[in-house]
């Protein structure tokens, strides 16, 4: 029999055929066959920083949690405080296991009392569904959890020109949607959408949730209005400059939100607590064994997995993400290093890059912050 093609081994999105026809360089990400780049990571990155670009992020997983007891279930699942959200408001939050390790990080949308949309990472879809359902079974109320990932497509429009781009395709005043707020039932280019003022680039923008069948029409309308596509390669460099974590790098089952410098998303005072609270509280009391730092390297580009050492100090750290920053023009990285080092901004470490010890200095995070 003929060998199975590389693309056929992975899931696709409603826009995969468009990406391939446009000549995108494709690759696997999160179990999906996704566009990595179109014209080049550098050009696409700069487009989002200075103008506007659009991303197919339909690989993300979506779960509806609705019914009596949903408020309590979602607050039990995540470290942030969900039930105090207003309707039409969203938040970012880690979701932990009992030992404080991170099951996933996600966006939670409050659509109404006991009505939520949870958006998690593509590679964790099956595991997250099982975890959420297992927690739901132990709640006092029977709470349905529905995986709607295959029914939903997600298009992100990001950059200083995002408001104008989306505004040109709708009669709704999308400029008035607040940061981490959303509206449902907005007609964008004739397509009904949930329009969310969120993103993963460090820039202003929107994420549009639409029915999977409507995604090609919306994508085509955006393209006709001059919005060019951006691949996941530039999405990664953009999020790294903005110090946004990527699950499997800055977060995983062995990395807690406190180690990943996400303590502001852990709400200790939340009534009823949350899964993992006791383990995280113990970490807080004694101090986490590791801490996340930003690095600026000289003479080499750190990549995930590279060892980090400090002269005269025991132990070693590890780079979680690294790249050459298109905005800053220098190699940058985030790394988990031993807290016992007591390292501060401006101090020096070494990163092993292809068998060489490359000097680096600790810098303040994020590497990039857009002008307000």
Provide the β-strand partners of residue 296: 332, 361
Name the helix (H) or strand (E) containing 130: helix 125-137
Is 114 in contact with 66 (CB distance < 8 Å)?
yes
pLDDT tens sequence across 249-271: 999 999 999 999 999 999 999 99
- Hey, what are 97's tokens? 């296991």
Residues 226, 281: Cα–Cα separation, whole Å: 50
pLDDT tens sequence across 69-112: 999 999 999 999 999 999 999 999 999 999 999 999 999 999 99
- 1: pLDDT confidence band, cut at 50, 70 and 90? very low
pLDDT at res. 31: 96
- Hey, what are 196's tokens? 């969310």
Is 331 in contact with 341 (CB distance < 8 Å)?
no
Residues 124, 244: Cα–Cα separation, whole Å: 18
Would you say residue 287 has pLDDT above 90? yes
Calculate the average pLDDT of the chain: 96
What does the domain layout of the chain look like in residue ranges?
Answer: 7-55+151-241, 289-363
Is 367 in contact with 353 (CB distance < 8 Å)?
no
**How big is the chain by its Cα radius of gyration, in Å?**
21
Residues 236, 231: Cα–Cα separation, whole Å: 9
pLDDT at res. 8: 72
- Hey, what are 173's tokens? 């005043």
pLDDT at res. 9: 87
Which SS3 state, helix, strand or coil, does residue 125 take?
A: helix
Would you say residue 4 has pLDDT above 60? no
Would you say residue 5 has pLDDT above 60? no
Residues 80, 207: Cα–Cα separation, whole Å: 21
Residue 269 C-beta-side C-alpha neighbours within 13 Å:
2
- Count CB neighbours of 347 within 10 A: 12
Interaxial angle between packed helices 41-50 and 232-241, expressed in degrees from 0 to 180 and rounded to the nearest 10:
60
Total residue count of the chain as it appears in this document: 372
Q: Is the peptide bond before 218 cis (omega within 30 degrees of 0)?
A: no
pLDDT at res. 2: 41
- 372: pLDDT confidence band, cut at 50, 70 and 90? confident
Interaxial angle between packed helices 125-137 and 70-77, expressed in degrees from 0 to 180 and rounded to the nearest 10:
120
DSSP state of 274: -
Residues 270, 21: Cα–Cα separation, whole Å: 49
pLDDT at res. 186: 98
- pTM listed for this prediction: 0.96
Q: What fold, for 289-363?
A: Elongation Factor Tu (Ef-tu); domain 3 (2.40.30)
pLDDT (mean) for 54-80 = 98
Residues 361, 356: Cα–Cα separation, whole Å: 16
Domain 7-55+151-241 is classified in which CATH homologous superfamily?
Probable tRNA modification gtpase trme; domain 1 (3.30.1360.120)
pLDDT tens sequence across 101-156: 999 999 999 999 999 999 999 999 999 999 999 999 999 999 999 999 999 999 99
pLDDT tens sequence across 296-345: 999 999 999 999 999 999 999 999 999 999 999 999 999 999 999 999 99
pLDDT at res. 6: 53
């Amino acid at each position: 029999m003929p060998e199975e093609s590389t693309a056929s081994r992975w899931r696709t999105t409603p826009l995969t055929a468009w990406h391939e026809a446009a000549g995108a360089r494709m690759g696997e990400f999160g179990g999906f066959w996704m566009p990595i780049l179109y014209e080049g990571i550098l050009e696409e990155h700069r487009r989002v920083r200075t103008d506007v670009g659009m991303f197919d992020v339909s690989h993300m997983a979506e779960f509806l949690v609705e019914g009596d007891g949903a408020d309590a279930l979602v607050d039990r699942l995540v470290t942030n405080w969900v039930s105090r959200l207003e309707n039409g408001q969203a938040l970012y939050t880690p979701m932990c296991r009992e030992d404080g390790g991170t099951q996933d990080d996600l966006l939670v949308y409050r659509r109404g009392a006991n009505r939520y949309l949870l958006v998690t990472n593509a590679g964790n879809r099956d595991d997250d569904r099982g975890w959420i359902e297992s927690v739901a079974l132990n709640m006092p109320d029977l709470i349905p959890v529905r995986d709607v990932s295959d029914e939903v497509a997600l298009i992100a429009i990001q950059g200083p020109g995002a408001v104008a781009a989306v505004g040109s395709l709708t009669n709704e005043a999308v400029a008035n949607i607040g940061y981490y707020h959303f509206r449902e039932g907005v007609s964008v280019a004739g397509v009904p959408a949930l329009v969310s003022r969120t993103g993963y680039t460090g820039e202003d923008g929107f994420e549009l949730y639409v029915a999977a069948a409507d995604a090609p029409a919306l994508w085509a309308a955006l393209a006709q209005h001059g919005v060019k596509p951006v691949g996941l390669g530039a999405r990664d460099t953009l999020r790294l400059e903005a110090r946004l974590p990527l699950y499997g790098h800055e977060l995983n089952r062995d990395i807690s939100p406190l180690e990943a410098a996400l303590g502001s998303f852990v709400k200790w005072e939340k009534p009823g607590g949350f899964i993992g609270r006791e383990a995280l509280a113990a970490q807080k009391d004694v101090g986490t064994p590791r801490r996340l730092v930003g690095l600026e390297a000289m003479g080499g580009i750190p990549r995930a997995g590279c060892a980090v050492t400090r002269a005269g100090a025991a132990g070693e750290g590890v780079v979680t993400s690294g790249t050459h920053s298109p905005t800053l023009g220098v190699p940058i990285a985030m790394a988990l290093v031993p807290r016992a080092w007591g390292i501060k901004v401006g101090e020096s470490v070494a990163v092993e890059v292809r068998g060489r010890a490359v000097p680096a200095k600790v810098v303040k995070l994020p590497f990039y912050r857009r002008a307000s």
